[in-house]
Amino acid sequence: MSELVFRHRFITSPTTKPNTKKQDKDQLGGEIKDHMIEPLTLLLLHGTGGNEDDLIPIGQKICPSASLLSPRGKVLENGMPRFFKRLSEGVFDMEDLKYRTTELADFLKEASKVYSFDLSKTIAVGFSNGANIATSVLISYPKLLAGAILFRAMVPFVPDSSLDLTEKKVFLSAGRFDPMVSENQTMDLFEILKKNKAQVLLKWQQSGHNLIEADIIDSKYWITENFY
């Protein structure tokens, strides 16, 4: 087993039961859906100053049947964990972003082997800095994730024209009064995802940079509509 390089938590889906496929089929007369055997996995990516515990309750609300993989960002900014360095507010260290994106993608691939979950049923759920690196993973490794829920995300970088996000589903949840992510930044990200063929839904919340209950309710509805 290779070393998993992030401090993290993994919570197995409560619906996962070994060797239950035939039994469940019999009980339901053959009317069984794939997700009952192979549940979704949510990759939870916290914001600046967060840790691997922060988004666990939110992940459990968004999709109670999902497995949860929650790493802690390895970069420290004044003692606060992040997933990549920044030069100032909203100005990213692009070399570090590229390195950390690859590091996180490799961790995700390795974790899928260690915990036996399906990458094709894995959805990133990121907030702020976590949403930005989730977007970076999505557009740098488009085959790795099934989709993403992005809370208060910016454009991490503008991808080249060869990007193809066909069949990738993205829920972009933005704060109407966010002092850190402008409306233009949100719209730029929305247009980049749409231009590259992602199935993206943008929802404006009556909030600032903070998460509110509507973020959770809307993302839960979106994940049910798109993955079940």
Catalytic positions, please? Answer: 128, 178, 209
DSSP state of 3: P
Residue type for 227, please? F
Q: How far apart are CA 220 and CA 7, in angstroms?
A: 27
Count of Cβ atoms closer than 10 Å to residue 136 Cβ = 25
Which token pair is 190? 């929305």
Measuring CA to CA, which residue among 117, 159, 152, 112 is closest to residue 131?
A: 152
H/E/C letters for each residue in 178-215? CCCCCHHHHHHHHHHHHHCCCEEEEEEECCCCCCCHHH
Contact (CB, 8 A) for 134 and 44: no
Give dist(CA 53, CA 75) in Å, integer.
Answer: 17
Half-sphere exposure of 116 (CA within 13 A, CB side): 7
Alpha carbons within 13 angstroms on the beta-carbon side of residue 35 total 14
